Structure 1
Amino acid sequence: MATTKKTTPTSIRFTAAERRKIAAAARRRGLTPSAFIKKAALGQTEPTGDDARLARLEALVEAAREAVEDEVDYRTVAAAWARHVESGERLLSGEEVWRELGV
């Protein structure tokens, strides 16, 4: 069972312009205005400057690594399939495999 933290409602007054600005900034970060304000108030901000560039570079490197891994997997499977087609061997159905195994 998940434990929930007890929260206390709090009211803050904003002008309409401030509210729009906060809502827009929250949307850009994929957050609700409430979550955005909590993160800002508690110091859980997004990285800025060189830290932001480094975080973005890290994400790009990870995406490139995954793309290379996917390409290697594709080429491995394509080569195996080409060998199978060239050999002319017949594939067994699931039922045939179970039958041969005596299951």
Structure 2
Amino acid sequence: MESKLRVAVRLDLDARQACLEVHGRVTEQNCRVLYVLARRANAALPGLFVVLDLQKASATDGALAALSHSSETGHLPVLTGGLIQGTFAPRQLSVLAPAA
């Protein structure tokens, strides 16, 4: 699996949804890029439902656990390691797990 991430962003303004389709290998280090992209999509159109589609990617267990936790709580870590509260409502960020 390719170590570099490639991300295609699809916006559906009628459904108020952004889908980030990810290709490559998601690790604890590079999943920060996905947080930044999700935060930017939400900042452009607040209240947007953001889907991280990892079905065409692979992910380490740690990266998948961190992304799932963010989906459940709505909290996205900042690059310094702290938490920004209120960036997303819980379940406003959805993660589609990689195919086995």
Q: In which range does the TM-score fall when normalised by the shorter chain?
A: under 0.3
Structure scoring higher RCO (CA < 8 A, sep ≥ 6) equals 2
TM-score normalised over the length of structure 2: 0.21
> Which protein shows a greater Rg?
1
Whichever structure has more strand as a proportion of its residues is 2
Whichever structure has more helix as a proportion of its residues is 1
TM-score normalised over the length of structure 1: 0.20
